Each structure stands twice: as C-alpha cells, then as structure tokens.
Amino acid sequence: MITIIAAAGQHNELGKDNDLVWHLPDDFKRFKQLTTGHYIIMGRKTFESFPKPLPNRTHLVITRNKDYKKQGAVVVHSIDEALLKAASDPQPFIIGGGEIYTMGMEVADKIELTRVHGTFEADTFFPEIDKSQWDLIAEVSHPKDEKHTYSFTYETWVRK
C-alpha cells in the first residue's frame, strides 16, 4: 500500500521557497502518527527543508545528483528505486515535494490529503487528483481555532 501524504491549499498550493505557507499543529501530529515507523520518500529539497531527519522513519531521498550524500538519508535516483528500497515496509509514504508527488501519482494506492481552506502564494503545487482514477472515501473537517489560522479537511482517496 503506497500512500501519498500531503497538505495542499484550495488551488493545490504546497509551499513557497521550500517551506509550508501555513502552520497547522494538528496536521503535523497526524503526519507524525501516520508516518512513524515507515519509509518516507521525498525529493532532495524536501529533505533539506527539515532541520534534522524526522525521528523513527527511514528517509529515502530521490535526487538526480549521483554524488549526493547526507547523514540520515538513503539516497536513490528514481521513484522505482525508492520503492524497491522500501519493499519491506507494508505502507511507505511519499511526502513530497511537487515533482515527487507527480511521480507518485502513477504508483500510489492511496492519498492522505489535508485540504487547507484558503488560497496561498506558492511556487510548488500538488498534482490534480483525477476523479476517474480515484475515489474519495473519507473526509474529516477541522475548524479554524486558536491554534489553526485556517480550517482544513482530511481527505482519504483510494485508487479505483
């Protein structure tokens, strides 16, 4: 079960300048809960946006740079190579960024998408979900509150 996990604005915005454009503590908690103990597949820029590797996860970093090495990263050069390395994990997660999500749409079985209810200035976008290929099977709304500037909805999609 290959799962894409992402948070995107109303127009599929993911981030700007290699950073998120919102702060949603409950979404971070959900991300941690779902991905802990799993392989997480990401691009180099996403990996480098972390202050340090995320605890209790194996970081598979996709890069075209054959000489790339970073502590805490298992470096691979394609989504297929990443999936081979993650073969022992019953549910590896594809965590971004935009290019990696686009590659992941071809191989994923499930999408865990946090839809942030707002529009944002962004330079990275989540790919369009093709409703002829995906079914929305669950939605959980989260209102705006003192810790969350925006309301959002957790959406679970499965491949048809």
Note the pLDDT tens digit of each residue in 35-56: 999 999 999 999 999 999 999 9
3-159 maps to which CATH number? 3.40.430.10
Query: Coil, helix or strand for 25?
Result: helix
Domain ranges for the chain? 3-159
Other CB atoms within 10 A of residue 84 CB: 11
CA–CA separation, 133 vs 91, rounded Å?
A: 20
Per-residue model confidence (pLDDT) at position 18: 86
Residues 12-31 have a mean pLDDT of 94
Question: Residue 4 region, left (φ>0) first, then alpha (ψ -120 to 50), else beta?
Answer: beta
Per-residue model confidence (pLDDT) at position 25: 97
Tokens representing 71 are 């502590």
pLDDT digits (tens, 9 = 90+) for 82-132: 999 999 999 999 999 999 999 999 999 999 999 999 999 999 999 999 999
Tokens representing 154 are 């957790």
C-alpha distances in Å from residue 124, one per residue of 18, 58, 95: 8, 24, 13
